[in-house]
Amino acid sequence: MARIIVVEDDLAQQEEILSFLVYAGHEAQGVGSGIALDHCLQQFTPEIILLDYNLPGESGAALAGRLRERFGLSTGIIMVTARSQSADRLECRRAGADDYLVKPIDFHEMLIVIDNLLLRLHPPTMQAQAWKLLLARSELQPPEGSPIPLSNWEMSLLTTLAGEFQHKVGRDALIRALGKDPTVYDPRALETSISRLRRKLPKLEDGRNPLQAMRGSGYQFIRPLVSMN
């Protein structure tokens, strides 16, 4: 999950992007101009900013340059614009943009770009010491504290999460990991199982549970998780 601001003056497009980001599990806010962005930044610190180029007042390229000066490399900047010429791409990259998406947006490509940028912003070794899934002992070892004994189905769920990019897994894949058929299995039973597993896990330093729901799509283990024999 990432904190994201979408700077887009077309309200219909802004709402479409925001809805998709929230559905994918991100925390996202939208504004329509550089001035509105400045007000938003007073109360919301993003990890990534999606910038349109053609904005009222200050252009997206100018905003990218100002944001890069303000935040350095701690914040990701992705241009999302209908301008597809090489000169436009070069202008935005020189200003400090990390990536460049051309409208109409492929939302799945957008999520991949966001995930890749998050990996650069927060490498796993920098985020936290890995949680270790001890297969031979059926235990989960947090970075601190005692090992947590796991049942067979808990091992199956966590092993599936550990094996996926960014530890994100859809509901159907988790249901199959339990040996069930997603077409007939009640998803509420999965939610009950996940809730029981979450209660066994210690909270992170920020108070969150390491196993988080991705709204409407599945679950994510939000810390590095590795399987070991």
Q: Are residues 161 and 68 in the same domain?
A: no
Examine the pLDDT at 122 and tell me if it is beyond 80: no
Look at residue 129 in the predicted model and tell me its pLDDT.
Answer: 75
111 CB-near residues (< 8 Å, 6+ apart): 24
**Max alpha carbon distance in the chain (Å)?**
61
59 CB-near residues (< 8 Å, 6+ apart): 53
How do residues 193-220 score in pLDDT, each as one tens digit?
Answer: 999 999 999 998 888 899 999 877 899 9
Q: Give strand pairing partners of 214.
A: 218
CATH of residue 180: 1.10.10.10
Q: Is the pTM of this model over 0.85?
A: no
Q: Are residues 98 and 167 in the same domain?
A: no
Query: Which structure tokens are listed for 43?
Result: 């109360």
How do residues 15-63 score in pLDDT, each as one tens digit?
Answer: 999 999 988 888 999 999 999 999 999 999 999 999 999 999 999 999 9
Domain finish residue from 86, 106, 122: 122
Containing structural domain, residue 71:
3-122
Examine the pLDDT at 11 and tell me if it is beyond 90: yes
Task: Report the range of poorest mean pLDDT among 59-68, 75-84, 113-122, 147-156.
Answer: 113-122
Q: Are residues 204 and 159 in the same domain?
A: yes
- Give the chain's domain count: 2
Examine the pLDDT at 228 and tell me if it is beyond 90: no
Query: What percent of the chain is modeled with pLDDT above 90?
Result: 68
